[in-house]
């Protein structure tokens, strides 16, 4: 999940990604993320995959924690970009 959020940050090196174009600008990335999430859910919840890989189902509350913690990278990198832009303006 961290990598999914970081992928959005990678769209712009210094500009903010917190806009509509930043999140939806590349449909191939969105398709890839959707496929990745579907595969992850299959890996987590499908019985044959659970048997094969020794996994168990994850509660919704755990998924919520995973997404909240992983999204922190999005906001931390956005903060870093803001600081870089601010320093560049002061020069």
Q: What are 38-71's pLDDT values in tens digits?
A: 999 999 999 999 999 998 999 999 999 999 999 9
H or E element in which residue 13 lies: none
Distance (Å, rounded) from C-alpha 87 to C-alpha 23? Answer: 25
CB 77, CB 9: distance < 8 Å: yes
Q: How many domains does the chain have?
A: 1
Residues composing the chain: 91
Residue 25 pLDDT exceeds 90: no
Q: Which H/E stretch holds residue 32?
A: helix 27-45
pLDDT band of residue 13 (cuts 50, 70, 90) is confident
Cα(86)–Cα(91) distance, rounded to whole angstroms? Answer: 9
Domain that holds residue 48: 2-90
pLDDT of 91 over the 80 cut: no
The pLDDT value recorded for residue 14 is 86
């Amino acid at each position: 999940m961290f990598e999914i959020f970081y992928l959005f940050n990678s769209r712009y090196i210094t500009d903010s990604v917190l806009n509509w174009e930043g999140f939806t600008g590349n449909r191939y990335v969105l398709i890839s993320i959707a496929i990745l999430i579907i595969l992850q859910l299959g890996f987590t919840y499908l019985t044959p995959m659970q048997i094969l890989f020794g996994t168990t189902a994850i509660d919704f509350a755990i998924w919520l924690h995973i997404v909240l913690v992983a999204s922190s990278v999005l906001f931390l990198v956005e903060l870093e970009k803001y600081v870089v832009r601010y320093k560049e303006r002061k020069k």
